[in-house]
Homo-oligomer: A and B are copies of this chain.
């Protein structure tokens, strides 16, 4: 069985797939509310394409996965981005594949840590929500609209994903 090891989630490494939503003090930021709050602006754009499309905020309560994790399939949403942001400090796996002429290539895995969320670009192949340590509640920012916005792909053989 093919195996991959999750790498740390950084903006640079994740750039082909989406945005990392996190506060980094060395990023550009500016005061709001008379200086009591610092705003780290515009970390991600929420996209909702197509008929009667809008951006909605939802939540998800996710049960933890055991490691190693086996990736049987990936999915993508051609018409919209999709953000997942935990509302408690959490570690979760982010599994993505580059697109290769309409099919997912070999997956890559990232380990998101406390204070990190992600936003998949529209069309990014990705695995399921995979929190690691305990039940975790997430904010989801994604598309509502008319029409089909889900494609799935099952790998011939599952990929085994682990962390260092």
Contacts and interface: CB of A to CB of B under 8 A. Distances in A.
Nearest to A36: B63
Interface in A44-61: 44-48, 54-61
A40 B140 CA distance: 9
B61 A57 contact: no
Copies, count: 2
Interface in A3-28: 19, 21-23
Contact of A57 (B43, B62, B65): B43
Contact of A39 (B32, B46, B60): B60
B119 A57 contact: yes
B41 A58 contact: yes
Nearest to A19: B57
A57 B63 contact: no
Interface of A: 19, 21-23, 29, 32-34, 36-48, 54-63, 65, 83, 85-89, 115, 117, 119, 128-129, 137, 139-141, 144
Given A23-B137, A41-B58, A87-B87, 12 more contacts: A36-B128, A37-B129, A40-B60, A41-B56, A42-B57, A42-B144, A43-B56, A85-B139, A87-B88, A87-B115, A87-B117, A141-B141
